[in-house]
């Protein structure tokens, strides 16, 4: 249920309590929020409490996208042998000096060298060995003449262009030199990084453990994703959105199924999880069915409940002791506490509270940057954008002809507003709104808005 239902009937204290702990520990059910924390305060708190999770070994084939937790240096040079950059003939470069189409140099062909199949002998003066790209340069040779300027006749080759020493030869270590640091800790491994690790002979690397994220989806009205909505029941869409956001942010979302609004059931879900992060959807506000805030207070600490923002004002943040299961013991030590995020059930609120609070923590636990991962575009507002001083607004916007249009249907229950939107604009706490024609920063939902 929503606070707005109650705020008219419930007198709020005139002076808000000075510290958030006292605010959080009150049972706010049916009383409304006495004071809301500022978004920045919550963000600062979370930033101070979050450090990357310990490292675990990750197999080479699974490491792309993971965050490196060690400096990696190369034990070998790549290539570790001098190799040909061309198909042609390996020669002693000095033998080819003066070669031209009028006056070709003729050398004796001793045999051939192929990738992975070196020529066993040595190239002496007046001699050549047929060579393919990637094959080792035979002993004695120091250059490769490309096939295009060679003509083989019987067991000789006529060369019509000089190839000075080193020509078309890839030197030992031209790609990577033994001892060089190739990747530094904190690096989010790109596909090509994983390839480079393969090339230096790595079979596994240490990466930050990915945060395990338990979704606790509450609501008597919810059917599991995949079901057809019927009667007074709706389909849980929040877990579908959250799961994808968690994956985007490098976390691992654990299995979940919607839970009824029963205190004992929600308590058990919170207590029995061994996750690093628990996302509670629904039941986070001040309705009689809203058990989560009280349970977090009971089991741990409810650090914040109620944030000066729209949507998501009933959002909350807390911590509860983490259950250590075999999983954690088997890999890397786990933090003592799990973060709990209370995400309002309204789909836009849920998305918004995730983006502001849970997303940065999940990314940071996995060693990534806390910053929002969206691409940004600076564009002009086509219409004025209303807000209120004292709260942060998360406004869905469309982009038409390169101008930003705040979407009118902006209720927190309208999930389709986020589907129609190209992105969102965040109106800071100190702004009453933004004027038509003002340049704003849009956080894009897609790679690009065109
Ligand atoms: P609550 O935060 O539990 O008071 O829920 C607020 C609104 O969000 C209600 O209309 C709920 O039916 C709706 N809601 C709650 N959980 C979900 C969910 N998982 N998926 C979609 N809508 C939800
Ligand atoms: Mg509910």
**Do 64 and 193 contact (CB within 8 A), yes or no?**
yes
**Residue 300 CB less than 6 A away from ligand 1:** no
SS3 at position 82: coil
SS3 at position 129? strand
Neighbours of 167 (CB within 10 A): 19
Structure tokens at 409: 């249907």
- Distance (angstroms) between ligand 1 centre and the Cα of 48 equals 30
Ranges in the chain, pLDDT < 70: 1-31, 324-334, 409-410
How much distance in Å is there from the Cα of 24 to the middle of ligand 2? 20
How much is the pTM? 0.88
Q: What is the pLDDT of residue 22?
A: 43
Please tell me the residue having the least CA distance from ligand 1 atom 14. Answer: 345
To test ligand 1's pocket by mutation, which of 220, 234, 411 has the most ligand atoms within 8 angstroms of CB? 234
Closest C-alpha to 46, from 402, 417, 439, 316? 316
* Residue 27, Cβ density class (10 Å: 0-12 exposed, 13-18 middle, ≥19 buried): exposed
Q: Ligand 1 center to residue 237 CA distance, Å?
A: 9
Give ion ligand 2 contacts, CB < 5 A. Answer: 219, 282-283, 345
DSSP string, 240-300: HHHHHHHHHTT-EEPP---B-S-HHHHHHHHHH---SEEEEES--SSSTT--HHHHHHHHS
């Amino acid at each position: 249920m929503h606070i707005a239902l109650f705020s008219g009937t419930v007198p709020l204290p005139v002076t808000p309590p000075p510290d958030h702990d006292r605010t959080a520990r009150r049972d706010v059910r049916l009383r409304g929020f006495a004071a809301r924390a500022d978004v920045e305060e919550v963000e600062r708190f979370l930033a101070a409490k979050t450090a990357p999770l310990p490292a675990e070994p990750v197999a080479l084939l699974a490491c792309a996208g993971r965050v490196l937790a060690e400096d990696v240096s190369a034990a070998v040079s790549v290539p570790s042998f001098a190799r040909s950059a061309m198909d042609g003939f390996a020669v002693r470069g000095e033998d080819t000096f003066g070669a031209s189409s009028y006056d070709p140099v003729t050398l004796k062909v001793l045999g051939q060298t192929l990738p992975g199949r070196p020529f066993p002998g040595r190239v002496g003066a007046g001699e050549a060995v047929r060579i393919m790209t990637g094959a080792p340069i035979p002993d004695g040779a120091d250059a490769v003449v490309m096939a295009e300027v060679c003509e083989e006749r019987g067991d000789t080759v006529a060369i019509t262009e000089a190839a000075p020493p080193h020509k078309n030869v890839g030197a030992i270590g031209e790609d990577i030199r033994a001892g060089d640091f190739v990747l530094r800790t904190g690096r989010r491994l790109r596909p090509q990084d994983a390839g480079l690790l393969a090339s230096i002979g790595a079979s596994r690397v240490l990466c930050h453990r990915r945060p395990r994220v338990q979704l606790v989806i509450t609501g008597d009205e919810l059917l599991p994703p995949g079901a057809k909505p019927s009667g007074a029941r709706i389909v849980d869409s929040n877990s579908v959105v959250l799961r994808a956001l968690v994956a985007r942010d490098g976390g691992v979302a654990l299995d979940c199924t919607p839970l009824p609004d029963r205190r004992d059931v929600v308590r058990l879900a919170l207590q029995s999880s061994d996750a690093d992060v628990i996302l509670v959807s629904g039941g986070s506000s001040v309705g009689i069915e809203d058990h989560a805030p009280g349970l977090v207070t009971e089991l741990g600490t409810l650090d914040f409940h109620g944030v000066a923002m729209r949507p998501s004002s009933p959002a909350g943040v807390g911590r509860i002791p983490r259950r250590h299961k075999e999983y954690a013991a088997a890999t890397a030590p786990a933090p003592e506490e799990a973060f709990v995020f209370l995400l309002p059930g309204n789909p836009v609120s849920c998305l918004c509270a995730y983006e502001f609070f849970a997303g940065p923590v999940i990314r940071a636990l996995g060693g990534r940057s806390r910053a929002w991962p969206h691409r940004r575009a600076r564009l002009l507002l086509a219409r004025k954008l209303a807000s209120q001083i004292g709260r942060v607004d998360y406004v869905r916007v469309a982009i038409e002809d390169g101008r930003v249009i705040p979407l009118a249907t902006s209720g927190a229950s309208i999930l389709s507003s986020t589907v129609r939107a190209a992105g969102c604009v965040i109106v800071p706490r100190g702004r009453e709104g933004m004027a038509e024609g003002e340049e704003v920063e849009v956080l894009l939902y897609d790679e690009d808005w065109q």
